[in-house]
A and B are shown apart, each in its own frame.
Chain A
Amino acid sequence: MQPATERSDLPDPAARPDPARSHLMRLERHALVLAVWLPLGFLALALFHRGFAGFGAAWLAAGFGAVLAAFVLHVIVNAVLGTWFNGREVAVGAGAFALAVLALALFSLLSPGFAGSFFLPVAGGLIVLAAAVVIAMVTAFGPRGAFERFDIIRDNNPRDGSRLPHRGGRR
């Protein structure tokens, strides 16, 4: 807010110190991700609500379509900004997916009539979403890289030998 005469040399944004810059970039990416998920999330919620109210599987499919669209846009954001899903996003995504699978299983077992009307469209939608995640990972990291992201056991006991090139040499 300095007067113009004192600011003929505006600070060059690229010259900022790195930590502050990276925090700023993270904030902006976070806001962009919110801008993607907020509208499409609302849309998906409305479509799911109508689908579960008994108006047909097409509404459920459209709801999964909205979620898929948001996921694809999220991947595009990652690609443009040169980032990947952060820990919190993975946690929220995996948690929501697990919750949905659990809810599907419980309702199918406990709620009479639910399985007949909703099991196939919901299970199909969840499978499509899982497939989309796998495709995104394979596209981003390649088949081996994508598998290594889940290879927790190998990471749990890192011995020096595992760093050798002929044993993988991943680290």
Chain B
Amino acid sequence: MTALLVAALSGLAILAVYIAALSARVSADAGSFSDAGGDLPGWAVMFATAGILLAGIDLPAHLALIGTYGLQASHIGIGLVLAAMGGLLFRGRLWLAARIAGLGSPGEALGLYYGSVALRVVVLSLVVIFALPFAAHLLSGAGGLLETATGGALPRTAAIAVLAFALFLPAVIGGWRASVLVLAVQSALLLALILFTVGFPELIRLPGGFLSVGIAVPEGMAADRIPGVFQYSAGIGKDHLPEGIFTTLGIASASLSLVGLAISPGLLWLAQSARPGREGGFGLVWLGAGLSAGILLLAAPFLAARLSAGPGPYAEILRAAEPLAGLALILLLILAGQMAAGFFATSGTLLVMRELVCRFVLPGLDAKAQRLAARIGLGFAFFALAVLAGFAPLFSALFASLALPLSLQLLPALLGLCFVPWISRGAVLAGLVFGALLVFFTEPPGLILFEALFLDLPWGRWPLTIHSAAWGLAFNLAVVLLASIFSKGGEERAHRERLHRAFAENRRGPAIGRTGATALWSLTLIWAFLAVGPGAILGNWFFTQPVFAGAEILPGLPSLMIWQLLFWLIGVMLVWWLAGRSGLGVTSDAHLRRISLTDPGLAMRGARAPDWIAAGVARVTGRLS
């Protein structure tokens, strides 16, 4: 297995370097190294987005959750339908903002639209959380798995270093374009590996499995039902819930956290870098909400049922049946971690270089110097990634838990930027502060820090079985709405309205109309209530003990799983409607009217470095010369 695995991983690394070298040769223009000139092919963005949605949830951890909690945990796979909806809502408008107003990245768009440096700092902090602890946590898992699979022949830290170097090479050679092309190719492989790894054991009728023995959850756990609408619990670490933590509110809030993945700065920037067309919307509908969510709902329980002893032993069982099947399982789990880690580290570094270093620290660099700076930045980032993953896995895991819920806290700001002009800068900032505090103190970093410094808190992680993402978003939205009542007018509003007028003037695709929009959002709310909300509790027995039948039916699958599949299919139709009929999935650059959001009188403008940064740089460069 070791030789086969090393050969396969080496082959993938060589393929990545090959694509990167071709890309570097073709895109000799230094200016497009960091953003691909906003000209990424639609198919690559489509595959890459689907791959990141699947890999970014930490696939091995998700399978482990299903192995522990059963179908209640796999229910959060429907969250990818919500995530696709979230991605669709914002990608088109952000893409348009990049083309008509030059707001080429999420941080730039939010910073210039609201005229706020603080928002830029918030987005950059989020980018760093995704690029370092979150990516390091995923890479650490991949390294650990590689150590297990090679029987210790490749120690964990060495494995992490090798994986990080294999990720660094294509990024530093070919930049953003190469990274996305490589990611797209790997995403196609990932999807095939999942289907093969799940389908092969069932085809050869390997003993055990989901259909014959189900998922071997601990004693007392509700393996094939949701344990209530919510439970009065102080949270993980304070209370033990024997039937499981994924109540309907737990599922809804965990699904919301997946929206945080879809609107993470890296994925939004990927959408902004795409060529105009229908592919982005198509990808979110059929590969994101369709295939990826379907895989999590239908295939993940089958895989999790066989992984009860861990990936290593199961890979050995598969290998005995077919060596390449054993390899496929290990490759799948390593590739998932590696892809997400590479994407967030690369996109994060390039965003930091673009928005911080080349804008404020060294604003006068020409295109070639900017490319060099980006390459140096990538070197530092991947080194830090390897160090964090190798030597601080606990720190990485703790701070990685903040990434998705904190990313979701950008939702009101993005809603304001894309649709709601009366959401003001002050409201967004106040909401972000409250939302981030709620997230911080309902996730391990805040709890550990506070309890170590001061006193024990009465709640733990996910109090009332509600994910931190939802706690943060509830307070965030409440504060944003309240604050916007008092600050929705004024000169700032006029500035914001300019972008919204430009959106309306440059609108493409079919108009859905007021009736259509009402129908769409009403159906979406009803769907959300039944699919991931409190209504999902009906799925526990709906198909095995129908209300009026008065008898028990044995459909061959647990009732909850049928409910999940039914609402997944309905959800895909809704996302399709959102993308196609309402025009949110279509981008076009024909006859765009450009505007400039750099009016005098607002806080953010120009590329001049702040005095304190300029003075600091001058002091260092003065000494060097």
Q: Which residues of A contact B (CB under 8 A)?
A: 1-13, 20, 23-24, 26-28, 30-32, 34-36, 38-40, 42-43, 45-46, 49-50, 53
CB < 8 Å neighbour of A13 from B37, B188, B200? B37
How distant is the Cα of A13 from the Cα of B44 in the complex, in angstroms?
A: 16
Q: Is the CB of A34 within 8 A of B15?
A: yes
**Please, how many angstroms separate the alpha-carbon atoms of A7 and B28 in the complex?**
20
- Additional 11 contacts, C-beta under 8 A, given A2-B358, A46-B324: A1-B354, A1-B367, A8-B101, A11-B38, A32-B41, A35-B187, A38-B185, A38-B189, A39-B189, A42-B192, A46-B196
Q: Which of B26, B28, B44, B99 has the most CB of A within 10 A?
A: B26
Q: From B354, which residue of chain A is reached at the shortest CB distance?
A: A1
The chain A residue with its CB closest to the CB of B104 is: A4
Instruction: Report the minimum CB–CB distance from B4 to chain A (whole Å).
Output: 11
User: B19, B39, B193, B358: which contacts A31 (Cβ < 8 A)?
Assistant: B19
Would you call B157 an interface residue if the criterion is a C-beta within 8 Å of the partner chain's C-beta atoms? Answer: no
Q: Are B102 and A43 in contact (CB under 8 A)?
A: no
A23 to B26, CA, bound (A): 6
Whole-angstrom distance between the Cβ of B206 and the nearest chain A Cβ: 13
Cα A2 to Cα B370 in complex, Å, equals 9
User: How far is A3 from B360 in the complex, measured between Cα atoms in Å?
Assistant: 9
Interface centre among A1, A36, A43 (most CB of B within 10 A): A1
**B325: which A residues are within 8 A, CB to CB?**
46
Q: Is the CB of B15 within 8 A of A3?
A: no
Please name 17 pairs of A and B residues whose Cβ atoms are closer than 8 Å in the assembled complex, sorted by A.
A1-B31, A1-B35, A1-B371, A2-B358, A5-B102, A5-B598, A5-B607, A10-B98, A11-B37, A28-B43, A32-B44, A38-B185, A39-B193, A42-B192, A42-B324, A46-B325, A50-B324
A32 to B101, CA, bound (A): 31
A42-B189 contact, Cβ under 8 Å, with A1-B358, A4-B108: yes
> A4 near B324 (CB under 8 angstroms)?
no
Judge whether A45 and B102 touch: CB under 8 Å.
no
- B612–chain A nearest beta-carbon distance, Å: 19
CA of A35 to CA of B192, assembled, Å: 11
Asked whether, in the complex, the Cβ of A49 is within 8 Å of the Cβ of B594, the reply is no
- Residue among A2, A13, A20, A24 with the highest chain B CB neighbour number at 10 A: A2
Does B297 belong to the interface (CB within 8 Å)?
A: no
Q: Please tell me if B403 contacts chain A, counting CB pairs below 8 Å.
A: no
Minimum CB–CB distance for A64 against chain B, Å: 16
Are B192 and A49 neighbours in the complex by a CB distance under 8 Å? no
Q: In the complex, which of the residues B37, B105, B374 has the most CB atoms of chain A within 10 Å of its own CB atom?
A: B37
Q: Is the Cβ of A36 less than 8 Å from the Cβ of B44?
A: no
Q: Interface of B with A (CB < 8 Å)?
A: 15, 19, 22-23, 26-29, 31, 33-35, 37-39, 41, 43-44, 47, 98-99, 101-105, 108, 112, 181, 184-185, 187-189, 191-193, 196, 200, 275, 322-325, 328, 350, 353-354, 358-359, 363, 367, 370-371, 374, 589, 594-596, 598, 605-607
Contact check: which of B33, B41, B328 meets A28 at CB < 8 Å?
A: B41
Tell me, rounded to whole Å, the shortest Cβ–Cβ distance linking A121 to chain B. Answer: 17
Docked Cα-Cα span, A32 to B358, in Å, equals 33
Pick from B26, B37, B367: contact of A27, CB below 8 A.
B26
Chain B nearest CB, measured from A54 CB (Å): 12
* B288–chain A nearest beta-carbon distance, Å: 17
Check A40 against B607 for contact (C-beta < 8 Å): no
Going nearest first, the 10 A-B pairs with the smallest beta carbon separation are A39-B192, A8-B102, A46-B324, A35-B188, A3-B607, A1-B34, A13-B39, A1-B370, A31-B181, A4-B102
Partner of A39, one of B31, B191, B353, B354: B191
**Cα distance A81–B597 in the bound complex, in angstroms:** 37
In the bound complex, how far is the Cα of B192 from the Cα of A91, in angstroms?
A: 26
Residue pair A31, B184 in contact (C-beta under 8 Å): yes
Which residues of chain A are near B359, meaning CB under 8 Å? 3
Determine the distance from Cα of A34 to Cα of B275 in the docked complex, in whole angstroms.
Answer: 20
Known contacts A4-B104, A42-B189, A45-B324; is-contact A35 B38 (Cβ 8 Å): no
Query: CB distance B35 to A13 under 8 Å?
Result: no
Return chain A residues, CB-CB under 8 Å to B19.
31, 34
A16 CA / B39 CA spacing, docked (Å)? 11
Question: Closest Cβ of chain A: how far from B211's Cβ, in Å?
Answer: 21
Q: How far is the CA of A36 from the CA of B26 in the complex (A)?
A: 22
CB–CB A10/B322 < 8 A? no
List chain A residues, Cβ under 8 A from B200: 46
Chain A: which residue is nearest B353 at the CB level? A1
Q: How far is the CA of A107 from the CA of B200 in the complex (A)?
A: 28
Q: Would A7 and B23 count as touching, CB distance under 8 A? A: no
Asked if A13 and B38 make an inter-chain contact with CB atoms under 8 angstroms apart, the answer reads yes
Partner of B26, one of A7, A11, A20: A20
